[in-house]
Structure 1
Amino acid sequence: MSKIGLVGGLGPESTVEYYQSIIKGYQEKKGSNKVLPHLVINSINMYQVFAFIDENNTKGLTDYLAKAVNELKASGADVVAISANTPHIVFDEVTQQTTLPMVSIVEETVKAVRQDKLSKVGLIGTRFTMENDFFIKPFQDAGIDVIVPKAREQIIIHDKTVEELENGIVKEETKKTFLTIIERMESEDGIEGLILGCTEHPMLIKPADTAIPQFNTTAIHVSALVDRLD
């Protein structure tokens, strides 16, 4: 049986979601609730990841993540995924430090948006995800425009994500704030879909909350991983 390796802890809430969703997806794939996938998690420190990015320490971040990936290789993993969007800022660099195949949350999300034939989508996430082009450029290369919130809106989204959602705190007031921003992006920017570009955002924003299609990066990533399980 193939063995999936997850770099987790980025943050803990979404790591739990990955674990449970992979199990559910695998059981649905096999048509039985009496089977379980072979899975190993290497939980690292999301605050260390944020510190590397704040310091613009690309090498430190790459080495930190590559070490976690290669520890999973030592545990017998056949394929690895980093269970968060933000660390994908150095995804290409990490792949160069391991021989393990890695599944990119960004590449899989591009595939999902292309499948729906959308030309302009909104992106919310941590400020690292919204400010940098590691997430946006692959969409542009695929002919898809990516719109991010205004600068002041990005600050709100980032702060609420890190201070609340990353710690498992879900507030109705925060949800209303996010939806107000999303509705503005629909009316002013003409977005046709919305990328939940942080793996904690589905805790807050549900499919019924928006009139436009949502792209849950956690669910997309999990589906791609389950496809690789035999």
Structure 2
Amino acid sequence: MHHLGILAHSTEGAALSFLSFCQEGFRRLGEHDHPDVTLDYIPFGRSMAAWDAGDHDTVRKTLAVSVDRLSRAGAEFFICPDNTAHLALERPGPALALPGLHIAEVVAEQAARDGRTRVGVLGTSYTMEGPVYPRALGARGIAAEIPDPGEREVVNRIIFDELVNGVFTEDSRAAYIKIIERLAARGCDAVALVCTEIPLLIAPEHSPLPTLDSTRLLSAAAYEAAAGLRPFPSWRGGAEGLAS
């Protein structure tokens, strides 16, 4: 079994990823058993000014510190259960200290296996308006669809005002459901929940469309990599080696 490192960049998403990874072990290995796992978390607030300034290179440097600490703690590969962080991780720069699974690649692989042709993308404004998911999905012949500007503002506000702070309300769930309904009306055959906190608000039974839960998909892929059930990752940041 390989030792997993979790590069945390937001609290609720990292916690869900940790739990999901351990639960995958319980399910496959037996009660109380899972591959070794270490989590490192430099508080998100220390990167917020850089995010607001669009300074992804500075964010990448902070994330690289976490990856280095995971390596020194004995981890052999990493995941980052934060979709937005991959905008920074894809920036050019020195190779990260560990190889990692790229969350958008994992989600896009599942969308392709499911035969999806047009996927709605719900996440932070940075993620919805950024290149990560159009590239990953487009490389597999899948169109990426995002909500209209006003709807994107609603999705983003709920994430930062509520979800990352552990607040989950029925009003916000209803707002997300309406947005997903409109994505369905525009021809989407699935919705990717690509803020790792969204699955805590929108479960499959709530969604008008089949969901691609980026958090749990990444955790399951991490278990498979740790257990030798999928190819060991080789990506060390930047765009090299990603599907395009």
Under a length normalisation based on structure 1, what TM-score does the superposition of the two structures give? Answer: 0.94
Is the deviation greater in 161-170 or in 14-23? 14-23
Equivalent in the alignment of 1:62: 60
Equivalent in the alignment of 1:16: 15
Equivalent in the alignment of 1:200: 197
Other structure's SS at 1:135 match: helix
Structure 1 residues 182, 34: CA separation in 2 closer, same or farther (over 3 Å shift)?
A: closer
Distance apart, 1:95 and its partner CA:
7.7
Q: Is 1:86 matched with 2:84?
A: yes
**Which structure carries more helix by proportion?**
1
Equivalent in the alignment of 1:7: 7
Equivalent in the alignment of 1:183: 181
Q: Deviations over 1:201-228 (max 9, x none)?
A: 0111111122421000001100110002
Distance apart, 1:150 and its partner CA:
0.4
Q: Distance in 2 between matches of 1:64 and 1:37?
A: 26
Equivalent in the alignment of 2:110: 112
Counterpart of 1:3 in structure 2: which amino acid?
H
Distance apart, 1:112 and its partner CA:
0.3
Equivalent in the alignment of 1:47: 45
Equivalent in the alignment of 1:168: 166
TM-align CA RMSD: 1.5
Work out whether residues 3 and 77 of structure 2, in 8 Å CA contact, stay in contact via their aligned partners in 1.
yes
Equivalent in the alignment of 1:133: 131
Counterpart of 1:197 in structure 2: which amino acid?
V
Mark the runs of 5 or more structure 2 residues left unpaired by the alignment: 228-244
Other structure's SS at 1:199 match: coil
Counterpart of 2:25 in structure 1: which amino acid?
Y
Counterpart of 2:119 in structure 1: which amino acid?
V
Q: Distance in 2 between matches of 1:100 and 1:22?
A: 19
Q: Distance in 2 between matches of 1:94 and 1:102?
A: 15
Equivalent in the alignment of 1:217: 214
Counterpart of 2:28 in structure 1: which amino acid?
K
Distance apart, 1:96 and its partner CA:
4.1
Structure 1 residues 167, 7: CA separation in 2 closer, same or farther (over 3 Å shift)?
A: same
Work out whether residues 125 and 156 of structure 2, in 8 Å CA contact, stay in contact via their aligned partners in 1.
yes
The number of equivalent residue pairs is: 227
Please identify runs of 4+ aligned residues in structure 1 that moved more than 4 A.
Answer: none
Work out whether residues 49 and 87 of structure 1, in 8 Å CA contact, stay in contact via their aligned partners in 2.
no
Other structure's SS at 1:170 match: coil
Work out whether residues 62 and 94 of structure 1, in 8 Å CA contact, stay in contact via their aligned partners in 2.
no
Other structure's SS at 2:115 match: coil
Distance apart, 1:63 and its partner CA:
0.7
Equivalent in the alignment of 2:242: none
Q: Distance in 2 between matches of 1:146 and 1:75?
A: 37
Structure 1 residues 159, 21: CA separation in 2 closer, same or farther (over 3 Å shift)?
A: same
Q: Distance in 2 between matches of 1:34 and 1:41?
A: 18
